[in-house]
Amino acid sequence: MPKATRTKKIKLKSKPIVSPEIHMNNSVTFRLQASGVAQAGICGSWMGSDGWNLPEKKMKKGKDGVWEYKTGILPGDLHTYFFTVDGVRVVDPLNAHAIRDVSSLSSVFLIDADIAVYYKVQNVPHGTVVKRWYTSSGVENYRRISIYTPPGYEKSGKNFAVLYLLHGMGGDEESWLESGRLAQVMDNLIAEEKCKPIIVVMPNGNVAQEAAPGFSSEGFIRPSFVLPNTMDGTFEASFSDILKFVEENYRVIKSKKGRAIAGLSMGGYHTANISRYYANTFDYMGLFSPALNNKPERHPSAIAYQNIEERLKQQKKNGYRLFWISVGEEESPLLINGIYDYKDRMDQIGMSYHFQETEEGHTWSNWRKNLVDFVQLIF
């Protein structure tokens, strides 16, 4: 090294404050520059495992007015979190990436280890994500729908299989793309040839909504967890509008062997009902933490909920390739009992299914894993 540079004093720049900082070992440090704040805390999706309750952890104030919290080693996942600043829930001001889940925003980061390598945008061919509108005569509405087409769909002359993928209560046509990492999971599994290149259709299962909050003519409304007519059979009865729209507008296999349907929580309930009502339509069913504690019998006038036993027998008789049910071991007993009731019904008529218990509870962490598992088994 020449003398001149060797003797030159190196000017140290003050390091910019980073949050979240993901360390080599997948522990994470969060920072909040807030010298005027008396108390700061953090709630992260990794802190609770039932999907409902998160403890708040205190952040610690440093001399420089920067509050910090460091986690242990985190599992590979899409993690969400928020801070509390003197009791006010806020997203991390240093993190530009947030996801809306029902009516709240949470900051987000990815630990791309284990199964979560599939949640990352990798250097592989990417499918196309489309947001468009269809007319649903069944619910007298012009409705928004999200559709993923696999890499090569546009230039291929082939017909593709379709997975209809349904959201849970408080969700909408954005949920599987945002919280579910649908496009990344599909791109990556297709690139590894672990999943067929298929189309994934994500409708809005809330018939009271024409579109996700912010995308409808209601404007930037405050989203509600509970909406009218979500589990009264209206969505299920009108599902033929969606099938018709997809089969008229996309190059798809127009028979049972080319159709799968899956959903989480309320979407799992919808999946059970739709696949039973349209009893010869789907070869593959995926029920992720299905909210089968809701009983169709409560709405006796709903056309999609009539003759349950007969339709279930018909579904069995017509045949299918996979009926896949998963549930987290920390789910509510109510939900677990609902699933066992439906399994009993299936057992009574000798209907086959795959049943899988996972760790944790009613969480996106589970549903993303369910998706990765399920799409490798279909078509």
Interacting residues with its own copies (CB under 8 A): 18, 32-39, 85-91, 93-98, 100, 102-105, 108-110, 112, 120-123, 125-133, 142, 144, 154, 211, 213-217, 219-220, 222-223, 249
Cα-based angle 211, 324, 209 (whole degrees, multiple of 5) = 10
In the complex with its own copies, which residue's Cβ is closer, 133 or 340?
133
* Locus of tokens 């599909």: 186
Q: Which residue has the tokens 């299989």?
A: 161
State the minimum distance, in angstroms, from the CB of residue 222 to its own copies: 6
**CB-based contact 69:30 (threshold 8 Å):** yes
CB nearer to its own copies: give 168 or 233: 168
Least CB distance to its own copies at residue 185 (A)? 15
CB of 375 to its own copies, least distance (A): 20
Q: Contact at 8 Å (CB) between 267 and 166?
A: yes
> How far apart are alpha carbons 60 and 152 in whole angstroms?
50
Rg (CA), the chain: 23
Asked whether 78 and 368 are in contact (CB, 8 A), the reply is yes
CA distance 339 to 289: 8
- DSSP, res 248: H
Least distance to its own copies, CB of residue 217, Å: 5
Kindly list the distances between the CA atom of residue 264 and the CA atoms of 9, 164, 217, 237, in Å, as whole numbers in the listed order: 60, 12, 27, 19
Q: Residue 48 class from Cβ within 10 Å (0-12 exposed, 13-18 middle, 19+ buried)?
A: middle
CB of 307 to its own copies, least distance (A): 37
Instruction: Name which of 108 and 272 has its Cβ closer to its own copies.
Output: 108
What is the nearest approach in angstroms of its own copies to the Cβ of residue 121? 5
Closest to 35 (Cα-Cα) out of 61, 9, 11: 61
| Residue with smaller CB distance to its own copies, 33 or 293 | 33
In this complex, which beta carbon is closest to its own copies, that of residue 67 or of residue 305?
Answer: 67
* Minimum distance of its own copies from residue 330's CB (angstroms): 27
Q: What is the bridge-based pairing of β-strands 322-328 and 98-101?
A: unpaired
68 in Cβ contact with 59 (< 8 Å): yes
Among candidates 200, 202, 198, which has minimal Cα distance to 156?
198
Smallest gap from residue 216 Cβ to its own copies (A):
6
Which CB, 133 or 353, lies closer to its own copies?
Answer: 133
Closer residue to its own copies (CB): 225 or 334: 225
C-beta of 100 vs 244, nearer to its own copies: 100
- Cα–Cα distances in Å, from 91 out to 78, 176, 194, 231? 16, 21, 36, 32
